[in-house]
Structure 1
Amino acid sequence: MAVAARKIPDPLTADPEPAKCPTCHGSGEVSRTVRVGRKRRTVGQQTGLCLACLGSGEAPTD
């Protein structure tokens, strides 16, 4: 009874990590300053989906 040898994945041929999105730095979210009132004072920040990578965090391909 022969035992099959296990294949160990080679780290040099493994898939490299995808590049991070330059706009959101890989988080998938971007922040915008929220301003209110006539004098447009700053009250905080609001997060939203990154439109460059559509929230995936990976660098967009052209």
Structure 2
Amino acid sequence: MATKRATTKPAKAPVPAQPAKCEPCGGTGNVAVTVRVGRKRRPVGQQDGLCLACLGSGTASES
């Protein structure tokens, strides 16, 4: 009697789901904030600020 060969591959471990990225910051946790100076409040540049949607974590909240 011939031996039976196993033709099925072993099951692979499932890939863990990645959390969704935050929309406003794109997953970085920082957003650009315009810096204004002078009496007429003219914009002179931008600086990094903490993303208030995700509080710097970079992942989208459930709500």
Alignment TM-score, normalising by the size of structure 2: 0.72
Q: Where do 1:10-25 residues align within 5 Å? A: 10=13, 13-25=14-26
Note the alpha carbon deviations across 1:5-57, whole angstroms, 9 max, x for none.
xxx852xx221111100111100011111111112221111211111111110
What residue is the counterpart of 1:58 in the other structure? 59
Identity %: 60
Q: CA RMSD of the aligned region, Å? A: 1.8
Tell me the TM-score normalised to structure 1 length: 0.73
SS at match of 1:55: coil
Distance 1:39 1:53 in 2: 32
User: Which amino acid is 1:54 matched to?
Assistant: L
The structure with the larger Rg is 2
Unaligned runs of 5+ in 1: 1-7
Following TM superposition, where does structure 1 have runs of at least 4 consecutive aligned residues deviating by more than 6 angstroms?
Answer: none
The equivalent residue for 2:27 is 26
Q: Aligned partners of 1:39 and 1:54: how far apart in 2?
A: 31
